[in-house]
Structure formats: C-alpha cells, structure tokens
Chains A and B, each alone.
Chain A
Amino acid sequence: MPFLAPLLLGGLVFASAPIIIHLLNRRRFKLVEWAPMRYLKLTLRTNRRRLQLEQWILLAIRTLVILLLIFAAARFYLTGNAAAAWLSLGGRTSRVILIDDSLSMGLKTAGQSALDRATDQAGQLIETLGTQDALTVATTSTLTAPMRRDSVMSSDEAAALAKQVRDLTPTESANNWAATLASLGDLLEGAAHSNKEVRLFTDRRAVGWSAEAAEQANRLVSLGVRLVIVDVGQGSEGNASLASFDQSAGVALVNTPIHFVAKIDRRRPAVQGRLRDPRRRRRRNHRQAARHRRGPARHRTQGQPHLRHARPAHRRAAAAR
C-alpha cells in the first residue's frame, strides 16, 4: 500500500492500546460492598449478550480510530486510478509502454485496427498514471529513440503524450522480438526506480517470435521486470478470400521497392459443422447388413402372410431357373 512515510507505520503498535488500557483498567478497579446483588446479577444475566457485543464493537471502533490516525500520519495516499495503484503499484515504478506498430497491427476488424485499440488503451493508461512514476513510451519500430524516456510528467504533459500516442499509424516493418526485448532490457537496466514494469501492446502474431526472443524475455523477468503483454488482436480470422490483388506502381523495376495491395475478404464465417466420421459410416453399414440377414421384422409383415417369404423379383427369377 502506498505510504509517503512508511516508517511511521511502526506506530501500528499503538493499535493495541485499547486492549492494553482495558487490561490495565481491569487491574485498577474500585471495590464496592454491594447490597442489591440480586438485582445486579439479574441485570447482568439478562443483558450478557448485548453487553458483550457492545464491548466488542467499542473495542473495534477504538482500534480503528487509532489505525486511521497512524495511516494519516504515515501519509497514506491514493492516486486517481486508486484501484490500479492499490493492486499493481508497490512504490515508485519505472514503467515502459511499448506499442507494437508493425504492419499487421493495421488489420481492421469491426472498423477498428489492432493499433487503434492498442493506442486507445495505452493513451488511457498514460492519462490515469500518477505523477509518481517514470514513464517511457515507445513503439517497436522506434525503440532506440522512444517518444518519452524515463520521464515524470505533469497531467498536462501526460494528456499531450496520450494524444500523440493515439495518432500513431502502423509502420511498414516486421517484428523481431529478440532484438526488441534485448534493447528493452538495456533500456530498463538504466531505469530510475527499482520497480520496473513493461506493458506491451501487441496483436501477438507468431512472426518474429523465436527461441532467442523467449530467452530475452526470461532475462527481463530475471531483472525483476513485470512484463505485461496486452493482447489487442482479434482471435481467429476464419474464412478469408482474396478479393483483389493490385500492384500500386505500373512497372516493377529492379532494386526498387514495389507495393502490392491485397484485399482480403473475411465476411463469410468459417464452416463450423462437424466433420463426417468415416468410422460412423462403417458402423451404420454394418447394422444395415445385419438387419438384412435377419430378414424383415415380424411385426412389419403381420397380417400379410403372403409377403412373409416373398423374395425380390430378381431372386424369384433366379430360383425359378
């Protein structure tokens, strides 16, 4: 929990004061020789439960008051995103927001690209982060030259940065996660605070992940970095058909990049039906053959005795021969 003066939390010992005072009070009492004992006992007997409950509630309130006082003295604070702070922060943090801006992030589903979703969430995060943490914001294509590097921002600056992040567009690059994570590790080694967190917004394409990338990820974790991967991709794409494939430039020249625009139509859903099981078919055939050997069922032919031993026409002809 966030405290500005955690040392003062030692004062929590005082929370036991009401209990100690109660115990001391028990030692310091007045002795009264009492005559109407009968009515005193009657009172205590009939009110015992209520009295006990009251005592406990009182003790709880007294303890709570002291706890709150000590919390106030230790300067307990909650930032704007109180819940997030409560759950994820343990003191000041060096935070890296890394946004995957490879070309695949431009894939639109339901009118929104993965990058749109990523920048949206990242922007929100930047705006709601407190002014306590050092923040680095970068894209995978420009990791070596981040938009912000380990900087503490006022809320105005944060808003400006969030806008800047929301304006990001996909770049024509592919991911090489091994290199990205390696330079991320280098970046975090020189971070200001000991608490480190990386939030990686990506659509989790398989391209670029390798054994080496996994190694780099493990290195990050061993550095004590909290690595959070936020998936902004949309699950399986299902059926897709190539609607058109055009060449942007009329002529393809040697040693010159050329652009192709492929339009993929994904409107038809994938077939979700069950595949035919060949064994099932075999079993069915087997059942039919058995029924045939037994001959027709009796009840089906009841009342038609002339049909009981009837043979199909071609069999009859063969028998006659």
Chain B
Amino acid sequence: MAQPSKLLDPAVLARITPLGFKAARVVEGSITGQHRSPMHGVSPEFAEHREYAPGDDVKNLDWKVWAKSDRYVIKRYEEESNLRCTILLDASRSMQYAGKDAQGGRSKFEAASTIAACMMQLLMKQRDAVGLITIDTKPRAVLQPKATSRQAAQILDTLESTRPGGETELGPVIVRAADQLRRRGMVLVLSDLLCDLDTLYQSLGKLQHNGHEIVVFHILDGEEIDLPFNDSIIFKDIEGSEEIFGEPWAFRKAYQKAMNTFIGEVTTRCQSTGIDHVLIRTDQDLGQALAQYLHRRQRMSATTAGRGRIGGSVV
C-alpha cells in the first residue's frame, strides 16, 4: 500500500474513530449498516403489521396472528442501511488563507481536506458509502458515494491534488451538485461560507427538501475572526483585485463584532432549520473540535431516539 496520506491525521482519527457517526434521519443505503433506512427488509427490529394483499410473498405472513385472529397480515421489519454521505468541499481561493497561528500551518482548505479525509475514514470503517464533490464556481471533481476501499484511495487522491482557485459561489453550485445526489443521505458541507448567504440558505433548503441531512463545517482562520495584526496592512481581496489600506488596531473591535455577528447569524439560521453547524477554527485543534461535535451528536441522538421513524417526515 502506498504511503498513508498526510490528510489522515492520526491525532484527529484517534479522537473521532471511537465516537462513530450516525445519521440522525433515515438514509437510503444499498447494504445493511447501522443507520435507519426508510426501506423494510430483513432485520431484528420489528416495524409494523400490514394487511396481506395478493402478490405479497407468503413467506412474510405472520402465522401467529393468523392462528389467533384468522387474519392474513404481513410482518414488516425496519431495515437498517448504510449511509450515503457526500462531502461538499469548498475549493475556492478564499479557502487558501493560512494564518500564522493555524495548527500545523494548515490553510483553511487543508484543514477542510483533513476533516473530509478523517470523516471519510470514519464512515468507511462503518461500511458507509462516501462521495466527494469539490466546488468553486461549479462542481469540479464529482465522486459518487461508494463504500469501496478503492473509493477511499480515490477520494484521498482528489483531496491531495485539488488546488483551491476561483470564486466562492456556494449557493448555486450546491443546487447543481444536489441534482447529482439521487438517494437520501447525508451531506457534509466544508466551507468558510464567505459567499452570498441568502442563496446558500436557499440551496441548503433544497437539499433538505430532497431528504438529505446536512452538516455544515464552518471553517475559519483565527486571524479572520480576531484580526490580530499590529502593522499597517493592505488587505487584498483574495478572490478579486480590490485593495484596502488600513490600520487594524483602529477598527479591530468593530471588525470582531461584525465577524461574530456573521457567525452567530449562520449558527441561528442553521439551528432553526435543523442543520448542524460546526464552527472550526484552524488555530484550534481539529481533532478536539470534531470529537466535541460528534460527542454532542451522540448525546443528541440518544435523547431524541425515536424521532424520524421509518417513512418519517422529511422536513
């Protein structure tokens, strides 16, 4: 086997692997797995009885019920399926930014790739199918979800070879990417969300409408939030040509406030629409942030167990 990818950060993996990752909503997989599926099939979990109709397989008849009540009913089981997870990775130029304090000198894109790789590893271990779509102004690499080890290698390859470029147009691109996701599953969005938020919300809404569960990993550099510079600085738009001269100490507080408002808005918006929003700062430990999120998710699914049953409502 080739050299293990540097994206599979052992420190991160060690923290998240024991936690696992389970879909909160039903997902349509192709093989038996640990996630609940809308299908009925072979499983120890009893789901419901249904009146027999001509054409049903006789082997599914519940003979005990027939013995007691002289009625033909079919016994149905909850199918447990594997998860089809698609990772939407923002590969626009803005993701290239790497602050001085970033952990391991990672740019936002590298941090996002690491998260993508580790999440993929985690899901693959659960025998879940993972796909990857990198996006800038349009979907670039598109890897449909598969659960093979070849897929894992391909995803790692793509992650490593992708160089961020182009502008962030997350909203419309997600809509286009969504058309390629046929079966209900899970979508992980990894981006700094420095784009038009309204269209982003719309496209995320559309994904939700299609029955996908969405997790947004909001990746920002610590410097982008805190503006810790002391020198005079010319801020050059990373995705354009605009330049602004400024002395950051003069407006640091106001800028921090603006950024926090932005993050707060995204958080509340996601919460109100049932999207998981995870803020990742590249100057903080990735493994810890991910583990924290997964842990919280575990607890949440324990308390809300039973929500979103078979055929349950989709948003």
Contacts and interface: CB of A to CB of B under 8 A. Distances in A.
Interface of A: 25-26, 28-44, 46-47, 51, 54-55
A39 B238 contact: no
Nearest to B256: A43
Interface string B247-278: 00011001100110010000000000000000
Contact of A42 (B95, B108, B240, B258): B258
A169 B99 CA distance: 90
A51 B250 contact: yes
Contact of A40 (B94, B95, B232, B244): B244
18 contacts: A26-B232, A26-B245, A30-B231, A31-B236, A32-B229, A32-B234, A33-B96, A33-B236, A37-B235, A37-B237, A40-B255, A41-B244, A43-B254, A43-B258, A44-B246, A46-B254, A47-B254, A51-B251
Nearest to A34: B235
A47 B250 CA distance: 10
Contacts of A43: 251, 254-255, 258
Contacts of B239: 35, 37
Contacts of B259: 36, 39
B279 interface: no
Contacts of B250: 51, 54-55
A44 B251 contact: yes
A35 B193 CA distance: 10
Interface in B8-62: none
B242 interface: yes
Q: Is the interface of A mostly helix, strand, loop or mixed?
A: helix
Interface string B77-102: 00000000000000000111100000
Interface residues of B, number: 32
Interface in B199-241: 220-221, 224, 229, 231-240
Nearest 3 interchain pairs by C-beta: A35-B94, A34-B235, A33-B238
A29 B251 contact: no
A44 B224 CA distance: 15
Query: Which of A26, A30, A35, A46 has the most chain B CB atoms inside 10 A of its CB?
Result: A35
A214 to B, nearest CB: 67
Nearest to A26: B232
Contact of A28 (B232, B237, B244): B232
B128 interface: no
Given A35-B94, A47-B251, 16 more contacts: A25-B232, A29-B232, A30-B232, A32-B233, A32-B235, A34-B238, A36-B224, A36-B259, A37-B237, A37-B240, A37-B244, A43-B255, A44-B246, A46-B254, A47-B254, A51-B250
B194 interface: yes
Contacts of B110: none
B192 interface: yes
A32 B224 contact: no
Given A29-B232, A40-B235, A35 B192 contact: yes
Given A40-B244, A43-B251, A47-B254, A34 B237 contact: yes
A39 B236 contact: no
A321 B240 CA distance: 129
A32 B194 CA distance: 17
Contacts of A25: 232
B194 A38 contact: yes
A40 B236 CA distance: 11
Query: Which of A25, A38, A55 has the most chain B CB atoms inside 10 A of its CB?
Result: A38
A32 B232 CA distance: 10
Contact of B258 (A30, A34, A39, A54): A39
A167 B240 CA distance: 90
Nearest to B250: A51
Contacts of A29: 231-234, 245
Nearest to B220: A36
Contacts of B97: 33-35
A119 B192 CA distance: 87
A10 B255 CA distance: 42
A39 B235 contact: no
B297 to A, nearest CB: 28
Contact of B262 (A30, A32, A39): A39
A35 B96 CA distance: 9
Contact of A34 (B95, B108, B236, B251): B236
B120 to A, nearest CB: 25
A112 to B, nearest CB: 65
Given A25-B232, A33-B236, A39 B245 contact: no
A42 B257 CA distance: 11
B234 A31 contact: yes
A100 to B, nearest CB: 66
Contacts of B194: 35-36, 38
Contacts of A44: 244, 246, 251
Interface in B158-176: none
